[in-house]
Amino acid sequence: MSPDPRAVLSRPAPEPDLTVAYGEHPDQVADLRRPPGAAVPRPLVIVVHGGFWRVEYDRRHTDSLAVGLARLGFPVAQLEYRRTGQPGGGWPGTLTDVRSGVSALPGLAAAALPGQVAPVPPILVGHSAGGHLALHTATHSPQDVGGVLALAPVVDLAEAYRLDLDAGAVAALLGGGPADVPDRYEVADPRITPPPSTRTVVIHGTLDQHVPVDMSRAYVQAAQALGADMHLVELPDCEHFGLIDPESPAWPQVTAAFRSLVEDH
């Protein structure tokens, strides 16, 4: 029997080194992980978890991903945020939390991990709905972003609403469909807003049953037509969760794409 790809969501991992708060709400926090044996400061990597923006999923399911990135020699922050199904989650709190966290975390991490965080813009790594939030933040945050690695991101909210991905996840996030709240889609939907100005790599498995790969194909093609420094890596025989699993066959491609974003630092 093939291993369950969802096992990565609950696989035990080392505890984070410490947790910092970027706001007053209990979910406005981030877990920090030191890179083992780091000799020189490196860019902060901010991991934005997915779970279709729902409260049932938190940063714990990206523990293996965060540990894997830290082992590449980088300080890592696992960003938490308010999610749909809890007070303050959804529109606009989910989006503003991530933007606020990305703005605050480089300074917070530099203070908490002295000598390990380089004074350069952070790299954002987001999976699924976290990929959407990373791309949104890279476009809208006042904080400069050094690069974005979007893993199976939800990049077309209107299409995700039409397809009813995860049984109404987009409607729960934005409060309705494109005809109901078009102004919210104009702000939140990466397919509508300008692409990030920073280097971006989108990775998507062709066997993904949670977020269709066609979304990433259309999004990247449109972004490239606008002159964006964006590239799509399609992984045959890869589903949704292998992208965040250091034990999966997809991990070498994920790390190669990540290194392409940080090679200048």
Q: pLDDT digit string (tens) for 22-49? A: 999 999 999 999 999 867 999 999 999 9
The predicted-structure confidence for 190-208, as pLDDT tens digits, reads as follows 999 999 999 999 999 999 9
Q: How far apart are CA 101 and CA 72, in angstroms?
A: 23
pLDDT at 2: 60
Which of the four pLDDT bands, split at 50, 70 and 90, describes residue 3? confident
Give residue 1's pLDDT.
Answer: 45
Closest CA to 28 of 119, 89, 70: 89
Residue 7 has pLDDT above 90, yes or no: yes
Phi, psi of 151 (to 5 degrees): -100, 110
Arithmetic mean of pLDDT, 145-156: 98
- Which has the closest alpha carbon to 205: 238, 252, 232? 238
d(CA 107, CA 30) in angstroms, rounded, equals 13
As a whole number of angstroms, the distance between CA 46 and CA 261 comes to 13
Backbone angles phi, psi at 254, to 5 degrees: -65, -45
Q: How far apart are the C-alpha atoms of 138 and 152, rounded to whole Å?
A: 16
Average pLDDT for the chain = 96
